């Protein structure tokens, strides 16, 4: 007769098998690429941020778009270690390269591709994702359908490149074969001891969907070239102070 | 036994001018070039020569002799270029053809003449062809270069000297036929030696003492006692491959197969020579006589046939085979040296130097043009619009480090957009601003950071930048243009969005 422990082991094994079938290979040496998202690793399958996959980011306003670019920049900075090269495909040149340095990226190692039509962007992204020597590919798109996203998924499974799709004001969300769906919203920053001025970038990070993981919402801050989760405790005294003053 | 043909073009440059301008055929003209401040005749055509105009004459003197003389500017280097072309043309008669400056060619025709049915038809064929083209040419054949040279220029009786009879052929010729310097010819003439026959039997020691070793060398070269080396021209084989087809090709698959075959051959050759192509063209000659052509270019020299095929593949649809293509030509227009050592180094690093990345960019550039690809480097300017510059090549490294001292927005508007603000105190950040119809009350702000125009580049108001955060936590980069002034309403702009 099987004990409960055995059953748990069997189920864990089966889950691993499913992950493998879905293209999630466990990191070869036990350690995945560290993208700096340690604080929320429990949300991810195998407790590792899925590289060699395509991630989808949603934004509705320009401000959200900027926050998304910042968040993706933080991940890219870690992916682009050791002379990595990233390709950033978009229809408008709005990214300001000098700002990327704050997110740990050497801006001259990003190659920008400016294309006007959505289908051209998709084509370029697929071609770029097939290139193994790239660290990551980012595309700013509005719409992507299931077929297109599947093609991208097939490309990354072969080349092990990480892809990011930044969707600005998508008309329909629909189903995609992207591994995750995020929404990053800026929230008000704060400085220690209630000092005046603007603090480090802070975002509400919503992981809306993640295949084989646990979606969730966190408040994060980018400081000292790292992601930090803002603990509620740290924010609380400030609120009280404000209340007292008010 | 060797056989040599020497061809002499008596009026090489003037013949060429006549070919280009048929109206010169029946008039006397000379080519002239400035020399020591005077125009000196460098070549005269046969009609002018008949009037007594010779090379080296001053143009004014020539005009005095023949007033209606046409004078054209000589082109320097023309002679050598023409001779080179003619030598290449002569490769059809012999594999070894050399230039003989300044007015002839030397062909080593050993073992070639039987293909034309003997020496006489061989020489005749060359001369007839050259004369039909419009060149005044004389030629002679002999066992040695020296004798052939002499007979071509000074021979009177026959052009073909039978093997071993150089001495007899040379006897009646003047000493100038020995390819010696004019000064020496004059000295020989002064001494009454007008024929080679006069000197050929003199003791060698006497000739050496009087005229130096040069004359003896030339004499023994002409007689075949001394070997003479020939420097044959080596035509550069164009990087071109041809593929004729038995049946006209109509389908795209057929085109691809043809392209692949040609590429494999061309890339193998490039690889063996350590070269790579930067630009190539694929051409198809259609049955109806039209030419179809597609071109590609690469970021870095490459002889990777699969990669080049991919570049062409994007453009194959542009070829319209119509009734079919019967001949394919692949041509590498631009070929560069490729260092294999460097290639392996790059492959290890990955990064911007990786061949795969360059190839990917080639494909993108092939589809949408070079202009869609940008890469930025820091520039030594504070003015935000000028603080980055386009990188000129894939491997260009930043000359200065990226600045991180001041905050910069991650999204920058291409052009600052005007906003309406409420700013309570001079030089303070605004309390609220309205952008695209939405009101943003400002909770936190940093600044100002004053950035002035670089007056040596452009004039205008300076900007006072503020980093502000509104109620919802959204962060903006705003600036006021110029100093605060209560009377004239200051213009405020939004320029970027922080992460």
- What is the homologous superfamily of the domain A39-245 according to CATH? P-loop containing nucleotide triphosphate hydrolases (3.40.50.300)
Provide the whole-model pTM. 0.65
Q: How confident is the model over B114-132, as pLDDT tens digits?
A: 999 999 999 999 999 999 9
Q: Which of B410, B414, B445 to mutate to test the interface with A (most CBs of A within 10 A)?
A: B410
- Measure the CA dihedral A128/A130/A131/A136, to 10°: 60
B228 by Cβ neighbours in 10 Å (0-12 / 13-18 / 19+) ranks as: middle
Contact of A103 with A77, CB cutoff 8 Å: yes
CB–CB contact B388 A97 (8 Å): yes
Confidence of residue B349 (pLDDT cuts 50, 70, 90): very low
CA neighbours closer than 13 Å in the CB half-sphere of residue B246? 0
**More confident of the two residues B295 and A231:** B295
Closest CA of chain A from B350, distance in Å = 6
Residues of B in contact with A103 (CB under 8 A): 499
Task: Find the mean pLDDT for residues B254-269.
Answer: 91
User: Residue B489 above 80 pLDDT?
Assistant: no
Which strand (E) or helix (H) includes residue A79?
helix A62-79
Taking a C-beta distance cutoff of 8 angstroms, is the pair A80, A105 a contact?
A: yes
Q: How far is CA A90 from the centre of its chain?
A: 17
Beta pairing, strands B38-44 & A226-229: unpaired
> What H or E segment, with its residue span, contains residue A220?
strand A216-223
What are the boundaries of each domain within chain A? 39-245
Mean pLDDT confidence for B46-73: 88
Q: What is the pLDDT along chain A (246 residues), one digit of tens a residue?
A: 568 888 888 988 888 888 777 766 665 544 456 777 877 888 888 778 888 889 999 999 999 999 999 999 999 988 888 788 899 999 987 899 999 998 888 899 999 999 999 999 999 999 999 988 888 999 999 989 899 999 999 999 888 889 999 999 888 888 888 889 999 999 988 887 778 888 889 999 999 999 888 899 999 998 888 888 887 544 444 555 455 444
Q: What is the mean pLDDT of residues B192-218?
A: 88
CB atoms within 10 A of CB A193: 8
Verify whether the Cβ–Cβ distance A188 to B444 is below 8 Å.
Answer: yes
Summarised one tens digit per residue, pLDDT across range B454-477 is: 888 888 888 999 999 998 889 999
Q: Give me the helix-helix angle, B355-368 and B305-313, nearest 10°.
A: 20
CB contact under 8 A, B373 and A98: no
Q: Which two tokens stand for residue B31?
A: 């080519």
**Chain A residue numbers touching B372 (CB-CB < 8 A):** 113-115
Its sign, for the CA torsion A115, A119, A124, A129, is positive
The CA distance from A3 to the nearest CA of chain B, in Å, is: 51
For the CA atoms of A162, A163, A166, A170, what is the dihedral angle to 10 degrees? Answer: -130
pLDDT tens for each residue of B150-173: 999 998 878 888 888 888 888 889
Contacts of B403 in chain A (CB under 8 A): 98, 101
Residue of A97, A102, A115 with shortest CB distance to B376: A97
Distance from CA of A72 to the nearest CA of B (A): 10
Find, among B230, B202, B229, the residue nearest to B216 by Cα: B202
In chain B, pLDDT over 70 holds for what percent of residues? 96
Omega of the bond leading into A126 within 30 degrees of 0 (cis): no
Please tell me which of the candidates A87, A196, A198 has its beta carbon nearest to residue B475. A198
By Cβ distance, the residue of B361, B411, B472 closest to A96 is B411
- For residue B227, report the phi and psi dihedrals to the nearest 5 degrees: -70, 145
Chain A nearest C-alpha distance from B459 (Å)? 24
Pairs of residues, one from chain A and one from chain B, whose beta carbons lie less than 8 Å apart:
174
| Chain B, nearest residue to A93 by Cα | B414
- Mean pLDDT (chain B) is 87
The residue of chain B with its CA nearest to that of A83 is B351
B483 touches B423 (CB < 8 A):
no
pLDDT category at B429 given cuts 50, 70, 90 is confident
Residue A57: predicted pLDDT: 94
The three-class DSSP label of residue A138 is strand
Which domains are seen in chain B, by residue range? Answer: 4-151 (3.40.1170.60), 163-223 (1.10.150), 240-341 (3.30.1490.100), 411-497 (no CATH)
Residue B210's pLDDT is: 86
List CB contacts of B271: < 8 A, sequence separation 6 or more.
Answer: B303
Q: Are A151 and A176 in contact (CB under 8 A)?
A: no
pLDDT of residue A23: 65
Sign of CA dihedral A151, A157, A163, A166: positive
Would you state the pLDDT for residue A235?
Answer: 47
């Amino acid at each position: 007769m099987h004990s409960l422990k055995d059953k748990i082991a069997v189920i864990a094994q089966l889950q691993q098998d499913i992950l493998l079938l879905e293209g999630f290979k466990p990191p070869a040496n036990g350690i995945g690429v560290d993208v700096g998202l340690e604080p929320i690793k429990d949300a991810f399958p195998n407790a590792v941020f899925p590289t060699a996959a395509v991630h989808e980011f949603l934004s509705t306003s320009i401000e959200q778009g900027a926050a998304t670019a910042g968040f993706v920049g933080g991940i890219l900075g870690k992916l682009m270690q050791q002379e990595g090269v990233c390709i950033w495909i978009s229809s408008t040149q709005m990214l300001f390269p000098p700002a990327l340095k704050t997110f740990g990226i050497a801006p001259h190692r990003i190659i920008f591709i400016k294309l006007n039509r959505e289908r051209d962007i998709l084509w370029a992204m697929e071609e770029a994702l097939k290139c193994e020597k790239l660290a990551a590919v980012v595309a700013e798109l509005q719409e992507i359908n299931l077929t297109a996203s599947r093609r991208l998924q097939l490309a990354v499974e072969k080349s092990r490149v990480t892809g990011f799709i930044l969707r600005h004001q998508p008309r329909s969300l629909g189903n995609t074969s992207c591994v995750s769906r995020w929404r990053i919203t800026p929230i008000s920053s704060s400085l220690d001891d209630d000092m005046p001025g603007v603090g480090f970038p802070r975002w509400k990070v919503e992981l809306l969907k993640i295949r084989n993981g646990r979606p969730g919402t966190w408040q994060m801050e980018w400081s000292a070239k790292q992601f930090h989760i803002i603990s509620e405790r740290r924010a609380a005294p400030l609120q009280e102070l404000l209340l007292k003053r008010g | 036994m060797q056989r040599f043909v020497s061809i002499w073009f008596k009026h090489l440059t003037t013949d060429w001018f006549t070919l280009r301008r048929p109206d010169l055929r029946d008039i006397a003209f000379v080519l002239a070039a400035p020399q020591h401040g005077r125009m000196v005749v460098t070549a005269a055509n046969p009609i002018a020569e008949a009037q007594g105009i010779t090379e080296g004459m001053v143009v004014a003197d020539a005009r005095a002799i023949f007033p209606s003389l046409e004078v054209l500017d000589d082109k320097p280097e023309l002679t050598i270029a023409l001779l080179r072309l003619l030598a290449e043309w002569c490769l059809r008669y012999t594999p070894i053809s050399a230039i003989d400056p300044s007015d002839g060619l030397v062909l080593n025709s050993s073992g070639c003449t039987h293909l034309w049915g003997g020496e006489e038809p061989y020489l005749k064929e060359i001369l007839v062809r050259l004369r039909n083209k419009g060149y005044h040419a004389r030629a002679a054949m002999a066992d040695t270069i020296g004798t052939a040279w002499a007979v071509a220029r000074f021979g009177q009786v026959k052009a073909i000297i039978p093997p071993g009879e150089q001495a007899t052929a040379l006897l009646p010729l003047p000493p100038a036929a020995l390819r010696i310097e004019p000064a020496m010819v004059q000295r020989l003439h002064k001494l009454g030696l007008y024929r080679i026959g006069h000197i050929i039997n003199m003791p060698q020691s006497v000739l050496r003492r009087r005229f130096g070793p040069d004359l003896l060398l030339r004499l023994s070269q002409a007689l075949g006692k001394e070997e003479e080396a020939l420097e044959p021209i080596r035509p550069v084989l164009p990087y071109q491959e041809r593929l004729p087809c038995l049946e006209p090709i109509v389908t795209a698959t057929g085109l691809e197969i043809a392209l692949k075959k040609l590429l494999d051959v061309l890339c193998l050759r490039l690889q063996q020579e350590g070269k790579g192509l930067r630009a190539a063209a694929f051409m198809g000659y259609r049955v109806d006589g039209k030419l179809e052509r597609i071109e590609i270019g690469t970021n870095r020299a490459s002889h990777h046939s699969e990669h080049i095929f991919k570049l062409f593949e994007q453009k194959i649809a542009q070829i319209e085979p119509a009734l079919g293509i019967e001949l394919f030509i692949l041509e590498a227009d631009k070929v560069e040296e490729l260092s294999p050592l460097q290639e392996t180094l790059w492959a290890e690093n990955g990064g911007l130097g990786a061949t795969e990345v360059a190839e990917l960019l080639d494909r993108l550039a092939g589809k949408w043009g070079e202009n869609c690809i940008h890469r930025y480097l820091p520039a030594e300017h504070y003015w935000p619009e000028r603080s980055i510059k386009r990188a000129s090549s894939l491997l260009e490294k930043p000359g200065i480090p990226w600045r991180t001292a001041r905050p910069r927005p991650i999204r920058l508007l291409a052009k600052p957009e005007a906003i309406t603000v409420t700013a309570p105190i001079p030089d303070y950040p605004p309390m609220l601003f309205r952008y695209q119809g939405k009101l943003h009350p400002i909770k936190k702000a940093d600044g100002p950071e004053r950035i002035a125009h670089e007056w040596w580049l452009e004039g205008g108001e300076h900007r006072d930048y503020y980093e502000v955060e509104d109620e919802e936590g959204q962060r903006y980069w705003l600036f006021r243009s110029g100093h605060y002034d209560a009377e004239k309403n200051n213009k405020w702009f939004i320029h970027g969005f922080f992460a």
